[in-house]
Structures are given as structure tokens and as C-alpha cells.
Amino acid sequence: MFGQDYSRLSMTPMDTIKELMHPFRKAFSGKACVFVTQGFLMALFLVFFSGCSNIEVEKAFKGDLRPGKANKIIGEYCQSCHIHKDFDPPLHVSKVRDLYNRPVFKRARECRSCHYIEKNWMHNQHERKTRMPEDANRGKFRKFEKKELSRKRKG
């Protein structure tokens, strides 16, 4: 009506991608164009999904950070949940250690000794898990304990 182009309103996502890739199609031909297109889509996919993951939280639970920093990050992560918003991490660690009999848990100074996360890749979310005292005292987490003891000897 006023000289505006409304044809873009009905464009599908594939049409949008084709329009974005048009300058590359002129520069490259054949298989090179296919590789450039695939590379562009992969980069777009990685950028889109990388913003949703919390790498610091994952590093803290893996033990890749200093214990103090890891406890701070894990504590903040737990306090982000409405159930744990009034949670006091240092007090919790000192109280809970007495419930465990196994040395790794009895002497724990890190939250990640008893708590861990499992990543749900389909929904890009973390599921919070706890190594409960009853299970730990029965030796259910021996593989984790062995790994922690060897890690402490090295570091």
C-alpha cells in the first residue's frame, strides 16, 4: 500500500536462512557452498544453545574450581530454588558431616561431596541429586569415594 514489502512476513525459517546465505552462495560453488552452509548452521546452533548452560555450576560440581569458590557457586545455585532460598551453606556442611560414617563424606568441606547434578541434554537443564547418608554409609558411592581420595592425594 505505501510501497512497503510485506512478502517477508510469510517467510519460513528456511527461507530466512537461504536469504542470509545468499552472499556466500555467490562466493562459493558446489560442495564448498554446502560446507559453508553447514558450518554457518552449526555455529548458529552452538551460539543458540551455549547461552542456556551454566558452565560455572558444572565446573563447581566437577571439582574444577577451588573449594571456596565452588562452594559459593553451588550455594548460590541452591539458593536460586525457592525451597532453599534461606539456606546457609557453611552451617549445613558442618551439621550434615556427622550423619556420614565414610571418611570422604565425614571430612567433607565441599558441597559437591554430597551433592551433584546430572545434565538433561534434551531440555538443557540440570537435575539436582544428593548422596544420602544412608546410601553412602552402605558403600553405594565407593567409585566416587575412590576417585575423590585419588584426587586429594594428587592435589
| pLDDT tens for the 155 residues of the chain, in order | 455 555 555 667 667 666 766 665 666 666 666 777 777 777 766 655 554 457 888 899 998 999 899 999 988 888 887 777 787 888 888 889 999 999 999 998 899 999 999 988 777 788 889 999 999 999 999 999 999 888 878 76
pTM: 0.61
**Which residues, in sequence order, are bridge partners of residue 129?**
116
Q: Tens of pLDDT along 57-88?
A: 889 999 899 989 999 998 888 888 777 778 78
Backbone phi and psi for residue 130, each to the nearest 5 degrees, phi listed first = -130, 135
pLDDT of residue 131: 95
Q: Enter the C-alpha cell of residue 155.
A: 592435589
Distance of CA 52 to the CA centre of its chain: 8
Do 107 and 69 form a contact (C-beta atoms < 8 A)? no
Q: Whole-angstrom Cα distance, residue 92 to residue 78?
A: 12
Q: Whole-angstrom Cα distance, residue 79 to residue 72?
A: 10
Nearest residue to 71 via CA among 54, 90, 98: 90
